[in-house]
Amino acid sequence: MFASTMQDFPLTVTAILRHGRRVHGGSECVTWTGAAPRRATFAEVAANADRFAAALSSLGVRAGDRVGTFCWNTQEHLEVYFAVPCSGAVLHTVNIRLFPEQVAFVVNHARDRVVVVDDSLVPLLGGVADRLETVETFVVVGDGDASPLGDRPVVRYAELLAGHEPGYVYPELDERQAAAMCYTSGTTGNPKGVAYSHRSTFLHSLAATTPGALGLSDRERVLPIVPMFHANAWGIPYAAFLSGASLVMPGRFLQPEPVTRMIAQERVTLAGAVPTIWADIVRHGEEHEIDLSSLRRVICGGSAVPRALIERLRDRYGVTVLQGWGMTETSPLAAVSHPPAFVEPGTDEDLDWRARTGRVVGGVELRIVDDAGRELPWDGEAVGEIEVRGPWVTASYHLDDAPEKFDDGWLRTGDVGTVDRYGFVQITDRAKDVIKSGGEWISSVELENHLMAHPEVVEASVIGVPDPRWQERPLACVVRRPGSTVRAADLAEFLAGRVARWQVPERWSFVDEVPKTSVGKFDKKVLRLAHEKGDLQVETLDR
Amino acid sequence: MFASTMQDFPLTVTAILRHGRRVHGGSECVTWTGAAPRRATFAEVAANADRFAAALSSLGVRAGDRVGTFCWNTQEHLEVYFAVPCSGAVLHTVNIRLFPEQVAFVVNHARDRVVVVDDSLVPLLGGVADRLETVETFVVVGDGDASPLGDRPVVRYAELLAGHEPGYVYPELDERQAAAMCYTSGTTGNPKGVAYSHRSTFLHSLAATTPGALGLSDRERVLPIVPMFHANAWGIPYAAFLSGASLVMPGRFLQPEPVTRMIAQERVTLAGAVPTIWADIVRHGEEHEIDLSSLRRVICGGSAVPRALIERLRDRYGVTVLQGWGMTETSPLAAVSHPPAFVEPGTDEDLDWRARTGRVVGGVELRIVDDAGRELPWDGEAVGEIEVRGPWVTASYHLDDAPEKFDDGWLRTGDVGTVDRYGFVQITDRAKDVIKSGGEWISSVELENHLMAHPEVVEASVIGVPDPRWQERPLACVVRRPGSTVRAADLAEFLAGRVARWQVPERWSFVDEVPKTSVGKFDKKVLRLAHEKGDLQVETLDR
């Protein structure tokens, strides 16, 4: 091998911390508190990270040990985000919205030795505290009651910081060692753990700042509503330290009223959240005076964004929507819906592109394969399962090889869709949610998007149900606007103008709400179960 | 070590090629020819790269072999940029502006087996062809006379492409193997070779696309006037394939008239060149009708950019100047002069920031040290030598360890300057050009910048010359505007209002031009030698 002369310089979270502290030391982390927001510079955040790294050492945390967090998006969580990986330990962000038994499962499975918990979440974590087998110490952020945590040692975050000095000397790290862990929300079976490396985190953060992804610089003020326990808040906290983008942390204030207030008050330019949050904000804006004038872009992810929502945000608030696609297994950014250069911004064509899933981000490789594993063309027509690979894509799960999730070095995403010649992906369904009707595939997501564009429809979820003639047919579960009297026949007629007639559901059920998973996605498993048990009231139209 | 679950996915030029060909296959590479420009899509460029990779194999080129290029910026050069590294060989871009003996030195030192040469450059390379010891085959681009190359085998690039098919199966590569080599222009001694790895090239390309560096997306049309044999044209060709930015290749047409025509005709949005090129264009624009309306940004590098030039480009053409700082040893991007977020765009303060050297780019680490090697504070005051490290910074030179160029894992850049609290660097001088007058340092660059802002001055270069009382004093060598009668006393008075009086030179010399190195920098070595030999006519003012 003809060797290069380049430095063998490791890609680490520590390098991100050094850059943010020195070059962007004046950028801000603002935390919403309900009262006056708390403000800190990146230099102050870094100094506190130093203090907490020293504190972890004093608590006996060693290289490779896992430190859990059970926290909202706050300055302290950001400090822990740096202190834990940079000190050589592994950050395990626990999803507070998991079912209690799943919380216990992931903490035990990761073998967390320390768990950092917000005082407002102590009651929730306290409910499973006696089932946590490996935790030696709880670190509580805030001075609220800690007694629900039981009789294990509890120390206060503020006291730990006060007891240590900045200037901690971080160890030299191997870029391939684990920096952080995140468990998938696991709609089936137990959650599965993904361990990000320092290398993958550095690369993902750098890629996240590029114009083809989030396009971050120190001129942005970013509000990550997406939780820091959900695929690292899409990588935003680390990307902020690399780019100098200031952070506005919402804490536990995720309702439309405080969120719109923090956008207005802190002049947020970019915010990230799942589509339901944006739908809530738009609805809130119909009845209240809200000021989104500083907001130029929102990043939506977690589930497909209805075109109608993108249009409303553009027309009412001048906000451009970007969809991001990815998953815990992909760090998560894999595709972002930047329309190709030939598309004129602000046009309806521009909207059409933004309503698609997204264009493959540089650094990620993607292909679609058919049932036999053959690669399909990027013609915008061929539908197959999407597989990805790349330096921030997982190759396995923690203590669980799960070979069925991998295909010759590619991650099987479980999403089904098309790719066009511009590398633009359109997810048409989850592989397990595709409705196979008479040998043809019906996209449940496409039906849902059309239904949710109907003015009388709040939410719609479509599942496949057994059919004696067609093997499977769609059942549309619809949440109507309060007071609406729209009928199934009206909605079927509405759909008939938008999809092939044979795809229009005969079966309809009006429900009060669509059940959601812990990360806010439609939980079709629950709907299918309800249908099997006969708990859904179904109306059947003539074909 | 607690291992991550992430894929062990190599960072390679091949990954950049795959991304550009598939996701940005419709982006363009346009080559200026003097007649109608030639156009090719990235997909076509990639297909030709495949063909050339197959051709290299047929020529007997094996993994690790060096393939030289002696070429302008063209589509073919871009194809070779991918074909050579992706096939496992090493691209050696030879600087066509080196002195002939240096050309022979670098080709022999790198042991190039094949050299690709533009037919218009055959006469130049032919002058040293008989001194090239390792070259087995010349590949000539174009159908011009190849006889000056002597009697070694000559094959035509077009014939090689025609003889091979796209779809070459590139080998799997180790990300640490060399992808490309570039020799420093070496103002003292022989040129020194830097070998970029696939990893460093991937990382530099990704970083180059970020808003903190060049901010590239498929909406940009980039004109790299900076040669592809000069630190990979600042990384633009690879960054273009990663981001989808279209490329406008100037070929050998680097004069203001064709350059301004290609900007207007191809709607170039971003162009990169050394400051003298921009100064020439501005002067050209004073006497000719030019259309720079598509151009939003220019990247300047290679030497400090006079504030007056930045101001003229802004005020006359609405063009924003970014300075890039780096060197062959740093791939090259290390700092870019994006003003911090608190600076209002378009203001005079904004100009002041852009006239500084630049802000440290994420991924590069930088420090300043004094003569004793002690690190100095980032206070905008302390002056020291700048040292850098990072994943795209060299650790040595090819077959030349040069320990004097390194300091405990940091590259000693040979540049002297300050850093402020925003990570903004201000180079005040080359370490070897600093003028040490009575124990104080005088920045030759600062004096030059002030002088070049004088309306009667075209160019100015200041060198230190021996002084019996002060050890060293500055000698200002000035090129006046044609017809100007400005006197040394006038210029001294002009400077006196801008720098400390003791820094104002007594010694002045009016010259016809400032000698330049092969990459267009002021060649102070030549001026010092001329002064030593008494070839400069020097006028001395009273102190």
Kindly report the CATH number assigned to the domain that includes residue B449.
Answer: 3.30.300.30
CA pseudo-torsion sign A452, A456, A460, A462: negative
Alpha carbon distance A407, A365 (integer Å)? 14
Judged by average pLDDT, the poorest of A217-231, A511-525, B227-241, B326-340 is A511-525
Q: How many CB atoms lie within 10 A of CB A346?
A: 11
Angle at A241 between CA A235 and CA A244, to 5 degrees: 115
Q: Is B1 inside a domain boundary?
A: no
At A519, the pLDDT band (50, 70, 90 cuts) reads: low
Alpha carbon distance A68, A47 (integer Å)? 21
**Residue owning tokens 């060299």:** B394
A522 Cβ contact partners less than 8 Å away, ≥ 6 residues apart: A303, A448, A459, A461, A514, A515, A516
Single-letter amino acid, residue B108? N
List Cα–Cα distances, B159 to A356, B99, B117, B166, B296, in angstroms: 43, 31, 14, 14, 39
Using a CB-CB distance cutoff of 8 angstroms, which residues of chain B are in contact with residue A7? 389-391, 393-395, 409
Using a CB-CB distance cutoff of 8 angstroms, which residues of chain A are in contact with residue B176? 1, 3-4, 6, 8
Cβ contact, residue pair A219, B422, below 8 Å: no
pLDDT confidence of residue B304? 82
For residues B498 and B372, state if they share a domain: no
**Residue owning tokens 């080196």:** B98
CA atoms within 13 A on the CB side of A514: 23
- CA distance, residue B69 to nearest chain A CA (Å): 18
Per-residue burial over B53-88, b = 16 or more CB atoms within 10 Å of its CB, e = otherwise = bbbbeebebeeebbbbbbbbbbbbbbbbbbbbbbbb
Domain of A45: which CATH number? Answer: 3.40.50.12780
Residue B447 and residue B428 in contact, taking contact as beta carbons nearer than 8 Å = no
Query: Mind giving me the DSSP string for A273-341?
Result: E-HHHHHHHHHHHHHS----TT--EEEE-SSPPPHHHHHHHHHHH-PEEEEEEE-GGGSSEEEE-PPPT
Alpha carbon distance B382, B371 (integer Å)? 12
Structure tokens at A412: 């099987």
- Where does B226-285 show beta strands of DSSP type E? 246-249, 270-273
Backbone angles phi, psi at B260, to 5 degrees: -70, -30
Cβ contact, residue pair B5, A193, below 8 Å: yes
Alpha carbon distance A178, B367 (integer Å)? 29
Q: Is A30 inside a domain boundary?
A: no
For residues A406 and A442, state if they share a domain: no
B19 Cβ contact partners less than 8 Å away, ≥ 6 residues apart: A360, A362, A363, A365, B241, B242
For residues B176 and B97, state if they share a domain: yes
Residue A283 and residue A458 in contact, taking contact as beta carbons nearer than 8 Å = no
Q: What is the share, in percent, of chain A residues with pLDDT greater than 70? A: 99
Query: Mind giving me the DSSP string for B66-96?
Result: EEEEE--B-HHHHHHHHHHHHTT-EEEE--T
A24's torsion region: left (phi>0), alpha (psi -120 to 50) or beta?
alpha
Among chain B residues, the shortest Cα distance to A212 is held by: B217
For residues A12 and A149, state if they share a domain: yes
For residues A499 and A474, state if they share a domain: yes
Q: Is A417 inside a domain boundary?
A: yes
Q: How many CB atoms lie within 10 A of CB A364?
A: 25
**pLDDT by residue (tens digit) across A386-431?**
999 999 999 999 998 889 999 999 999 999 999 999 999 999 888 8
pLDDT confidence of residue A434? 85
List Cα–Cα distances, A202 to A47, A239, B102, in angstroms: 20, 9, 39
DSSP element (H, E) containing B478 = strand B471-480
Alpha carbon distance B246, B289 (integer Å)? 26
Among chain A residues, the shortest Cα distance to B2 is held by: A64
Among chain B residues, the shortest Cα distance to A328 is held by: B6
Structure tokens at B171: 């080998």
Among chain B residues, the shortest Cα distance to A208 is held by: B210
List Cα–Cα distances, B128 to B122, B148, B150, B185, B501, in angstroms: 10, 9, 10, 18, 50
SS3 content of chain A, % helix, strand, coil (to 5): 30, 25, 40
**Nearest C-alpha neighbor of A180 from the set A124, A243, A228:** A228
Q: Is B348 inside a domain boundary?
A: no
Q: In 3-state terms, what secondary structure has residue B408? A: coil
Judged by average pLDDT, the poorest of A142-146, A447-451, B192-196 is A447-451
Cβ contact, residue pair A390, B9, below 8 Å: yes
Q: Is B265 inside a domain boundary?
A: no
Residue A249 and residue A226 in contact, taking contact as beta carbons nearer than 8 Å = no
Alpha carbon distance B270, B313 (integer Å)? 13
Helices (H), B163-249: 198-208, 231-234, 236-243
Alpha carbon distance A253, A449 (integer Å)? 28
For residues B416 and B451, state if they share a domain: no
pLDDT confidence of residue B187? 58
Backbone angles phi, psi at A23, to 5 degrees: -85, -35
Which among B196, B211, B391 has the least Cβ separation from residue A217?
A: B211
Burial environment of residue A427 by CB neighbours within 10 A (0 to 12, 13 to 18, 19 or more):
buried
**Nearest C-alpha neighbor of A357 from the set A297, A418, A427:** A427
- CA distance, residue B399 to nearest chain A CA (Å): 9
For residues B456 and B410, state if they share a domain: no
Alpha carbon distance A417, A423 (integer Å)? 12
At A463, the pLDDT band (50, 70, 90 cuts) reads: very high
Q: Is B251 inside a domain boundary?
A: no
Among chain B residues, the shortest Cα distance to A360 is held by: B23
What letter does residue A271 receive in the DSSP assignment?
Answer: E
Residues of the domain holding B473 = 435-540
A270 Cβ contact partners less than 8 Å away, ≥ 6 residues apart: A214, A216, A220, A221, A222, A223, A245, A295, A296, A297, A298, A299
Cβ contact, residue pair A243, B393, below 8 Å: no
Which among A5, A90, A200 has the least Cβ separation from residue B395?
A: A5
Q: Is B40 inside a domain boundary?
A: yes
Q: Is B395 inside a domain boundary?
A: yes
Chain A with chain B: Cβ pairs closer than 8 A: 229
Kindly provide the ipTM of the predicted complex, given to two decimals: 0.90
Domain ends where: B430, B445, B480?
B430
Using a CB-CB distance cutoff of 8 angstroms, which residues of chain A are in contact with residue B5? 178, 193-195, 394-398
Using a CB-CB distance cutoff of 8 angstroms, which residues of chain A are in contact with residue B21? none
Using a CB-CB distance cutoff of 8 angstroms, which residues of chain B are in contact with residue A24? 423
Using a CB-CB distance cutoff of 8 angstroms, which residues of chain A are in contact with residue B406? none
Backbone angles phi, psi at A400, to 5 degrees: -160, 100
For residues B74 and B44, state if they share a domain: yes
Domain total of chain A: 3
Strand partners, B68: B92, B115
Cβ contact, residue pair B244, A212, below 8 Å: yes
For residues A163 and A62, state if they share a domain: yes
For residues A48 and A191, state if they share a domain: yes
For residues B412 and B528, state if they share a domain: no
List Cα–Cα distances, A300 to A338, A357, A358, B152, in angstroms: 12, 10, 11, 61
Backbone angles phi, psi at B154, to 5 degrees: -120, 125
Cβ contact, residue pair B23, A360, below 8 Å: yes
Structure tokens at B125: 């390379």
Angle at B371 between CA B368 and CA B373, to 5 degrees: 60
Cβ contact, residue pair A210, B212, below 8 Å: no
pTM of the entire predicted model? 0.90
Query: Mind giving me the DSSP string for A126-178?
Result: HTTGGG-SS--EEEEESSS--GGGTTS-EEEHHHHHHTS-S---PPP--TTBE
pLDDT confidence of residue A336? 98
- The answer, yes or no, to whether the previous bond of B515 is cis (omega within 30 of 0) is no
Single-letter amino acid, residue B239? A
**Nearest C-alpha neighbor of A508 from the set A522, A523, A525, A494:** A494
At A186, the pLDDT band (50, 70, 90 cuts) reads: low
Positions of B marked active-site: 184, 329, 436, 441
**Residue owning tokens 């949440």:** A479
Structure tokens at B140: 């000539």
Cβ contact, residue pair A211, B216, below 8 Å: yes
For residues A192 and A45, state if they share a domain: yes
Domain of B391: which CATH number? Answer: 2.30.38.10
pLDDT by residue for chain B (543 residues), tens only, comes to: 899 999 999 999 999 999 999 999 999 999 999 889 999 999 999 999 999 999 999 999 999 999 999 999 999 999 999 999 999 999 999 999 998 999 999 999 999 999 999 999 999 999 999 999 999 999 999 999 999 999 999 999 999 999 999 999 999 999 999 999 999 976 567 899 999 999 999 999 999 999 999 999 999 999 999 999 999 999 999 999 999 999 999 999 999 999 999 999 999 999 999 999 999 999 999 999 999 999 999 999 888 888 999 999 999 999 999 999 999 999 999 999 999 999 999 999 999 999 999 999 999 999 999 888 899 999 999 999 999 999 999 999 999 888 999 999 999 999 999 999 999 999 988 888 888 888 777 889 889 989 999 999 999 999 999 999 988 999 999 999 999 999 999 999 999 989 989 999 999 999 999 998 776 778 898 999 999 999 999 999 987
**pLDDT by residue (tens digit) across A356-380?**
999 999 999 999 998 888 999 999 9
Domain ends where: B179, B203, B227?
B203
- The distance of Cα B188 from the centroid of its chain, to the nearest Å, equals 18
Q: How many CB atoms lie within 10 A of CB A180?
A: 27
Cβ contact, residue pair B7, A174, below 8 Å: no
- CA distance, residue B389 to nearest chain A CA (Å): 8
Backbone angles phi, psi at A488, to 5 degrees: -55, -40
Domain ends where: B430, B451, B475?
B430
What letter does residue A416 receive in the DSSP assignment?
Answer: E
**Nearest C-alpha neighbor of B240 from the set B81, B84, B371:** B81
B166 Cβ contact partners less than 8 Å away, ≥ 6 residues apart: B46, B47, B48, B50, B51
Rounded to the nearest 10°, the torsion over CA A155, A160, A162, A168 is 180
* Strand order, beta sheet including B90-93: B154-156, B137-141, B112-118, B66-70, B90-93, B178-183, B193-197
B40 Cβ contact partners less than 8 Å away, ≥ 6 residues apart: B28, B29, B31, B48, B75
**pLDDT by residue (tens digit) across A239-273?**
999 999 999 999 999 999 999 999 999 999 999 99
At A187, the pLDDT band (50, 70, 90 cuts) reads: low
At A162, the pLDDT band (50, 70, 90 cuts) reads: very high
Structure tokens at A410: 């590619």
